[in-house]
């Protein structure tokens, strides 16, 4: 929480300082300030309130960056200054959040803090250099390249900030979070940066007309992203329902697949798996028992962990065959079919599924001391079946948030 508060405090101080600076120096170039303010405000107003995504308001972010890097308006040099840029972006973002607050949604302070800090960084790097005329000796293409370099730096700062915020909010490890954020940068992040640079350059050439024209490709990206997120959500629902087929058929106890998936993800996060790997792990954990649908008669209480190894492997292979037909990522099928192999031959995700599944089966009906006994049994079997580092990670996860997991399961 310290990092979270620190970032908020820094953003607040920067915004207040810039506001004071602007009040002292007065507002320059009102047309450009108004146009960019409207752009940022509208972008913020249209921000995405649904699923969790890397950049919820790409239009606002791109507009803010473009304003920070603005060096001219239709061929006339501008003197907006870093103070004014931060003040305008901050005020516009706040105004754009008003409708969200009015609708009863909680304002996302972290997101605003990050916006203010990144825009401030870009403006502080660029505007002083520009107003001293250092950049005028550079040719046109070199100037464009400089803007790109600055934006890459800014984006890296943004990534570090976002990862730090996520780290202190969730308590997950910083390294994998940073890696996921960096990967996200290649997608919508690069589109936002490129749009910011292009807007700044285009406004310098053709004036403020460039703004509406340039929003379109980014809007399109945003729309596609929304549809992508929507179809991902439905797909997740479908897989979760498929996973319930074994429960309804009476092969496995109710909620088993969901509990294994939740606990597997927590262990995967603890072991430092990335976002894509976690998705594969979740799907595989949800569908790990699906091979039992191919059995003519159910296994007693669905407890596969106590079956002979050969039988376990046969069911796992049947499950892999079912998963392969479902058109899910092939990696999921691999995890499902290798879940019963000795751990030295398994991929990490399969190790996790095997350990968590065994823990779930051993601990579920065994009363208050059950979880501890189950962990002890797993530890004793780490010679061949269960990977020791996964069992230890499971123990860490359980000791950290067993209460929340129980509630969620």
Partner 1 sequence: MEAVPVRVRAYVAGVALSALTCLLPLPGTHTPWPAVALLAALYAGGEHVLRKRLGGTFYPVLLAGAFLLPPAAAALVPLPGALLSHVEQRPQAVRRVWRAAELALAVWGAGCAHWVLGGRDAVVGCEFPYALLPCAAAVLAFCTVLALLDGGILAVAVGAPPTPFGQRGRVPVQRAWRGLLARSLAPIGVHGLAGLMMAVLWRSPYGPVAALLVLLPMCVSWWVFAQYHREQAAHQATIRALVQAVDIKDGYTRGHSERVGQASVMIARELGMDDERVEVLRFAGILHDVGKLGVPTRLLRKDGPLTPEERRIIELHPEYGHEMVRGISFLGEARAAILHHHERIDGSGYPYGLAGGQIPESARVVAVADAFDAMTSTRSYSRARPVGAAVEELRRCAGRQFDAGVVDALVRALGKEGWHPAVTADVCQPGAPASGRPKGDRESVGRGAP
- List of residues contacting partner 1 (CB under 8 A): 74, 139-141, 143-145, 148, 187-188, 190-191, 194-195, 197-198, 201-202, 204-207, 209-210, 213-214, 216-218, 220-221, 224-225, 227-228, 231-232, 234-235, 237-242, 244-245, 248-250, 293, 296-298, 321-322, 325-329
Question: Residue 73 belongs to what H/E stretch?
Answer: strand 72-73
- Rama region for 213: left / alpha / beta (φ>0; ψ in -120 to 50; rest): alpha
Least Å from the CB of residue 196 to partner 1:
10
Tokens of 200: 């700044």
Query: What's the rounded Cα separation, in Å, for the pair 287 and 299?
Result: 16
Least Å from the CB of residue 90 to partner 1:
25
Least Å from the CB of residue 134 to partner 1:
17
Query: What's the rounded Cα separation, in Å, for the pair 209 and 351?
Result: 57
Residues 6 or more apart whose Cβ sits within 8 Å of residue 272: 173, 175, 176
Least Å from the CB of residue 313 to partner 1:
18
- CB closer to partner 1, 193 vs 271: 193
Buried b (16+ CB within 10 A) or exposed e, 184-202: bbeebbebbbebbbbbbbb
- CB closer to partner 1, 130 vs 386: 130
- CB closer to partner 1, 83 vs 251: 251
Buried b (16+ CB within 10 A) or exposed e, 383-407: eebbbeebbbbbbebbeeeeeeeee
Query: What's the rounded Cα separation, in Å, for the pair 142 and 134?
Result: 13
Least Å from the CB of residue 75 to partner 1:
8
- CB closer to partner 1, 106 vs 227: 227
φ/ψ of 56, rounded to 5, equals -80, -25
Q: Is 340 exposed, middle or buried (0-12, 13-18, 19+ CB in 10 A)?
A: buried
3-state helix, strand, coil in the chain (%, to 5): 80, 0, 20
SS3 of 77, please? strand
Least Å from the CB of residue 151 to partner 1:
10
Distance of CA 350 to the CA centre of its chain: 23
∠ Cα 113 114 119 (to 5°): 105
Name the DSSP letter for residue 105.
P
φ/ψ of 72, rounded to 5, equals 180, 160
Least Å from the CB of residue 92 to partner 1:
21
- CB closer to partner 1, 3 vs 293: 293
- CB closer to partner 1, 13 vs 213: 213
- CB closer to partner 1, 201 vs 398: 201
Least Å from the CB of residue 228 to partner 1:
4
- Radius of gyration of the CA atoms of the chain, in A: 26
Least Å from the CB of residue 247 to partner 1:
9
- CB closer to partner 1, 27 vs 205: 205
Query: What's the rounded Cα separation, in Å, for the pair 184 and 3?
Result: 22
- CB closer to partner 1, 244 vs 313: 244
* Bridge partners (DSSP) listed for residue 76: 73
- CB closer to partner 1, 210 vs 316: 210
DSSP string covering 236-287: HHHHHHHHHHHHHTTSS-TTHHHHHHHHHHHHHHHTT--HHHHHHHHHHHHT
Least Å from the CB of residue 270 to partner 1:
27
């Amino acid at each position: 929480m310290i990092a979270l508060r620190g970032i908020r405090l820094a953003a607040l101080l920067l915004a207040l300082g810039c506001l004071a600076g602007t009040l002292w120096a007065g507002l320059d170039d009102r047309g450009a300030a108004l146009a960019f303010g409207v752009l940022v405000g509208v972008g913020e107003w249209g921000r995405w309130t649904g699923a969790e995504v890397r950049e919820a308001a790409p239009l606002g972010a791109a507009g803010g960056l473009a304003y920070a890097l603005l060096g001219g308006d239709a061929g006339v040099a501008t003197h907006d200054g870093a103070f004014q840029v931060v003040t305008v972006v901050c005020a516009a973002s706040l105004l754009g959040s008003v409708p969200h607050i009015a609708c009863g949604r909680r304002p996302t302070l972290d997101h605003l803090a990050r916006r203010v800090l990144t825009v401030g960084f870009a403006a502080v790097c660029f505007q002083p250099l520009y107003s001293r005329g250092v950049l005028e000796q550079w040719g046109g293409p070199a100037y464009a390249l400089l803007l790109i370099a600055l934006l890459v730096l800014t984006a890296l700062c943004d990534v570090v900030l976002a990862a730090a915020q996520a780290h202190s909010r969730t308590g997950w490890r910083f390294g994998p979070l940073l890696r996921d954020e960096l990967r996200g940068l290649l997608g919508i992040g690069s589109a936002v940066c490129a749009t910011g640079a292009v807007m700044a350059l285009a406004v310098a050439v053709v004036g403020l007309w460039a703004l509406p024209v340039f929003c379109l490709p980014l809007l399109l990206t945003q729309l596609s992203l929304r549809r992508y997120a929507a179809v991902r959500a439905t797909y997740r629902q479908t897989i979760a329902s498929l996973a319930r087929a074994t429960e309804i058929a009476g092969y496995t106890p109710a909620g088993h697949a969901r509990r294994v998936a939740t606990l597997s993800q927590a262990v995967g996060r603890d072991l430092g798996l990335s976002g894509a790997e976690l998705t594969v792990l979740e799907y595989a954990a949800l569908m790990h028992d699906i091979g039992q649908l191919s059995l003519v008669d159910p296994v007693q209480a669905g407890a596969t962990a106590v079956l002979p190894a050969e039988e376990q492997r046969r069911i796992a292979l049947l499950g892999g065959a079912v998963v392969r037909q479902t058109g899910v990522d092939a990696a999921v099928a691999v995890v499902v079919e290798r879940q019963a192999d000795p751990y030295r031959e398994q991929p990490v995700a399969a190790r996790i599924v095997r350990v968590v599944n065994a823990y779930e089966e051993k601990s579920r009906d065994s009363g208050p001391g059950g979880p501890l006994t189950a962990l002890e049994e797993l530890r004793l079997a780490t010679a061949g079946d269960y990977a020791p580092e996964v069992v230890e990670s499971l123990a860490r996860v359980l000791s950290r948030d067993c209460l929340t997991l129980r509630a969620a399961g």
